Amino acid sequence: MAGLAESGSNPDVDLLYDINGLAKSAPHWFDRGMEFVGEYGLLLAMVLLVLWCWWTVRRRGGAHAASSVAALVWAPLAAGIAVLVNVPIRGFVERPRPSVDHQGLDVLVSGKTDFSFVSDHATLTMAMGVGLFVANRKFGLAGIGLALLEGFCRVYMGVHYPTDVVGGFALGTAVALLLSPPAMALLTPVMKAVEQAPRAGWLIRARGVAPAGRDAVIPGARAELPEERDLAA
């Protein structure tokens, strides 16, 4: 992988210079903004998006609230697992940062001395975006959009090759999707138990929203009297 990076005719390197070249012609304030967005801002936005989706799910309630919250819990867990999987990958590939092998790059973030492949930021955001898509398609599409923007920022900042970003996207997606079935099988019963707990049920549904089940009260429906239940029996 490092050998490929040394070739100036490599499309990966050409695209790196094309995207990073935008930073040279951009105003200083814009580069500082991109630095913050690419390093911290989009990660924070992804977390807020997951929390927004959770808030929406719990206010809606319904029969699938517990499974939806379980999927939301899986999103950050998938991101964490994907980053752990990336540790041996980075050690095996040992690809230097672009600025080590290429001159003339405008590196917006200093102090990046670890290996480049694959991008942790791209892995984190895409794993969370795909995990969010499992829970809610609309929020998930927004999350995947944030992940794509994160990948662009990492190349713009001069800290990753485009293939580092693509590798991160692939890793995050693979972990989020392939491990989703066993993760949901474990997390859904836990979330259903939390839903039935008197003091913790608000984590799954908002207060005043009836839990799913045979005794759930449908808004606008007349409550059945005890003597009516006896006659029906």
Three-class secondary structure of residue 229 per DSSP: helix
- Report pLDDT for 207: 63
What's the 3-state SS for 31-54?
Answer: HHHHHHHHHHHHHHHHHHHHHHHH
Q: What is the pLDDT of residues 26-41, one digit of tens each?
A: 898 998 999 999 999 9
Long-range Cβ contacts of 212-215 (<8 Å, 24+ apart) = 212/61, 212/62, 212/63, 212/64, 212/65, 212/66
Instruction: Enter the tokens of residue 104.
Output: 């003339």
Q: What value does the mean pLDDT of the chain take?
A: 83
pTM of the model: 0.81
Residue with tokens 């859904």: 188
Residue 169 Cα distances to 51, 75, 149, angstroms: 22, 14, 12
Sign of CA dihedral 168, 171, 176, 177: positive
Mean pLDDT over 88-92 rounds to 92
**Residue spans per domain, the chain:** 9-200
Retrieve residue 231's tokens: 């006659």
Q: Which amino acid is at 132?
A: L
Closest CA to 1 of 133, 116, 80: 116
> In angstroms, rounded to a whole number, what is the distance separating the alpha carbons of residues 94 and 73?
32
Under a CB-based contact definition with an 8 Å cutoff, are residues 79 and 128 in contact? yes
CATH number for region 9-200: 1.20.144
Q: How is residue 142 written in tokens?
A: 């927004």
pLDDT of residue 232: 46
pLDDT tens profile 151-187? 999 999 999 999 999 999 999 999 999 999 999 999 9
* Residue with more model confidence, 172 or 102: 172
